[in-house]
Amino acid sequence: MQNTDPLESSQEALENSKEFAENFAKIAVQSQEIVTEFLNSQKNGNVDPDPLNIGKAFMEMTAQMMTDPAKILEAQTTLWKNYLDLWQNAALRATGQETDPLIKPEAGDKRFKSEEWSQNQIFDYIKQSYLLTSNWVQDTVAEVDGLDEHTKKKVDFYTKIYTDALSPTNFFWSNPDVLKKTLESKGDNLVHGLENMLDDLKRGKGQLIPKMTDETAFEVGKNIAVTPGKVVFENDLMQLLQYTPTTEKVYKKPLLITPPWINKFYILDLKQENSFIKWCVDQGYTVFVISWVNPDERHIDKTFESYMSEGILAALDAIESTIGETEVTAIGYCIGGTLMASTLAYLAAVGENRITACTFFAAQLDFEDAGDLLVFTDEEQIQMIERKMEEAGFLEGKDMAATFNMLRSNDLIWSFVINNYLLGKSPFPFDLLYWNSDTTNMPPKMHSFYLRNMYQKNLLQKAGALTLGGQPIDLSKVEIPVFVQASKEDHIAPFQSVFKDTLLFSGPAEFMLAGSGHIAGVINHPDAKKYQHWTNTKKTKYKNADEWMKDAKEHPGSWWPHWDKWLSKKSGPKVAARDPAKGKLKAIEDAPGSYVKVRAKSGKNSD
């Protein structure tokens, strides 16, 4: 039976109110400390109120809207009608009648998964009101005429960012899970949440960067990136890793993997259960992987061409020196694929056939339809990035991470704001998010070249428009077979854009579409039995991905075995396995090497 003693009940209520009061006193103190920390971080530098040049785009949009008052009135009328319909539904439900929701969250929207958002009439009304308003705002902005294509994309993108930020799930009083947690813990969740926020502010030196995972749970070389191997070569830009074979025989042609330098290579080797590198070794490939340096001011003069000459070309020389093979197959992932394609064109120009077959993972070569990242590459924003790189000597990795996180703000920003600050929880240990937080810096000359010549000017797909190593780059001169992988839900390298790779080379090109996104679409071990992939065996020369997709066949699970069948036929006969510890080049250290363990350094003006 419940305790009905009024004296004891009042005593319990008094203790609860006292605990609430103590916690909210702590909250007041911590809030003041947070404000002080933020102000102190800002006082030594000039803060640009509009670093991404968003204001100008929205001013242009507003000016265009004002030229058509009738359209504004029509939009306002539509919104008010939606509100009246919502009020009517809410009133009917309040009388006990069953009503269908006027609007529902999109499939996959995790923000409103709590039952309270549908069962509680108040929160259901708040949810539907927000969805109606945010959709109306986005639709109204998208229908504005008279804007150039880039300004339109910019306005559409940041409107989505703003409406996501205003979601009721992101605020204390309108999130039922947070209110419930606050009552249960007597405000203790908010105390811990403000502690987390203060820690993040100090860690970000005034920039609020929510922690995504428990970083103490992982250590590179200990419980991630543990596939055995050796560093067999290094220079000041990269280390070359050769992995220890697990089969008695291996394919004669080794496999060279060129990962992106925007992140670290161990996305391909997180843990044994999903390691692409280990899986390739187990299939009988002699695997070499480039591990890029984490740049600082010492690498200020490194260029895109440096990454070719001191990266891929140096790796090819080292492979020949240590195992005697002059021909390899290769993989280029993301920007590593952009570099790989450029290198293939350079090799074709100088008449060298050192790479005889190449695979591209989520790699763009024609940037006309490069997706939301194009929003960040107008002249004003590139100039802003170049100023930051000039001041620091490099582009800080946290700036790159912030850009990529904005592409999926609900998943990679606001979910952690809710978990860490409103619910007061510690982030869950997750190896993928640890990798995502292990950022890398960018050398200024290389990054400016990439942004301007690829994203802004789209020169790589134009024959002879770029010169590397003194040679005009022409992708059509590349005649080797290529395998192009893309992912259906990739927000960084849209599959429609990646498909264009197949149209730029002269040799045979096979396209394959994987389920999921930029990471999970690539890293999908067959044992996981997840997602799906599409192939198309017709010999038709398709003009675009949509045409290709109409004739494609869907297959369950990982695409890796399909790719293995393709690559194995191009890798030569089997030979005795090569131990990296016994090659002609003396092993420098164990894999994963020391370069990958270097954390991103902050710029000289960050303190």
| DSSP run (H or E) holding 203 | helix 188-203
* Helical ranges in 438-527 per DSSP H: 444-450, 495-499, 501-504
How many Cβ atoms from other residues are within 10 Å of residue 471's Cβ?
16
Would residue 24 count as lying in a domain? no
On whether both 235 and 130 belong to a single domain, the answer is: no
On whether both 169 and 295 belong to a single domain, the answer is: no
pLDDT of residue 1: 43
Would residue 418 count as lying in a domain? no
Q: Rounded to the nearest 5°, which phi and psi values hold at 307?
A: -65, -30
Query: What letter would DSSP give residue 67?
Result: T
pLDDT at residue 607 above 60?
Answer: no
Would residue 12 count as lying in a domain? no
pLDDT in tens, 317-328: 999 999 999 999
Query: Does 560 or 205 have the greater pLDDT score?
Result: 560
Which of 171, 186, 201 is the last residue before a domain boundary?
A: 186
Whole-model pTM above 0.85?
Answer: yes
Task: Give percent of the chain above pLDDT 70.
Answer: 90
Report how many domains make up the chain: 2
Pair of tokens at residue 258: 């060129």
Residue among 232, 250, 277, 334 flagged as catalytic: 334
pLDDT of residue 606: 46
358 is annotated as an active-site residue: no
Would residue 495 count as lying in a domain? yes
Decide if 547 contacts 498 (C-beta within 8 A): no
Where is mean pLDDT largest: 143-157, 181-195, 477-491? 477-491
pLDDT in tens, 537-574: 998 889 999 999 999 999 999 999 999 999 999 999 99
pLDDT of residue 605: 46
Cβ-proximal residues to 142 (8 Å cutoff; 6+ apart), any chain: 156
Would residue 176 count as lying in a domain? yes
Tell me the torsion sign for CA atoms 385, 391, 395, 397.
negative
- Mean pLDDT is lowest, of 25-29, 155-159, 330-334, 344-348, for 25-29
Query: Does 453 or 11 have the greater pLDDT score?
Result: 453
pLDDT in tens, 70-82: 888 888 898 899 9
Integer Cα distance of 505 and 360 in angstroms:
12
Cβ-proximal residues to 29 (8 Å cutoff; 6+ apart), any chain: none
Which of 151, 166, 186 is the last residue before a domain boundary?
A: 186
Give the residue-averaged pLDDT of 564-587. 97
Give the residue-averaged pLDDT of 285-294. 98
Integer Cα distance of 168 and 181 in angstroms:
16
Decide if 255 contacts 578 (C-beta within 8 A): no
Decide if 450 contacts 388 (C-beta within 8 A): no
Would residue 22 count as lying in a domain? no
Identify the domain containing residue 554 by its residue range. 229-383+449-597
pLDDT at residue 45 above 90?
Answer: no
Give the residue-averaged pLDDT of 393-412. 87
| DSSP run (H or E) holding 512 | strand 509-514
pLDDT of residue 398: 85
Burial level of 137, CB count in 10 A (0-12/13-18/19+)? middle
* Helical ranges in 364-406 per DSSP H: 379-392, 397-406
Looking up residue 315, the CATH number of its domain turns out to be 3.40.50.1820
pLDDT of residue 51: 61
Query: Does 278 or 12 have the greater pLDDT score?
Result: 278
Tell me the torsion sign for CA atoms 520, 596, 395, 162.
positive
Pair of tokens at residue 135: 């959709």
Residue 337 DSSP SS3: helix
pLDDT at residue 24 above 90?
Answer: no
pLDDT in tens, 240-252: 999 999 999 999 9
Return mean pLDDT, the chain.
90
Query: Does 196 or 279 have the greater pLDDT score?
Result: 279
Burial level of 586, CB count in 10 A (0-12/13-18/19+)? exposed
Integer Cα distance of 418 and 563 in angstroms:
40
Q: Rounded to the nearest 5°, which phi and psi values hold at 301?
A: -95, 5
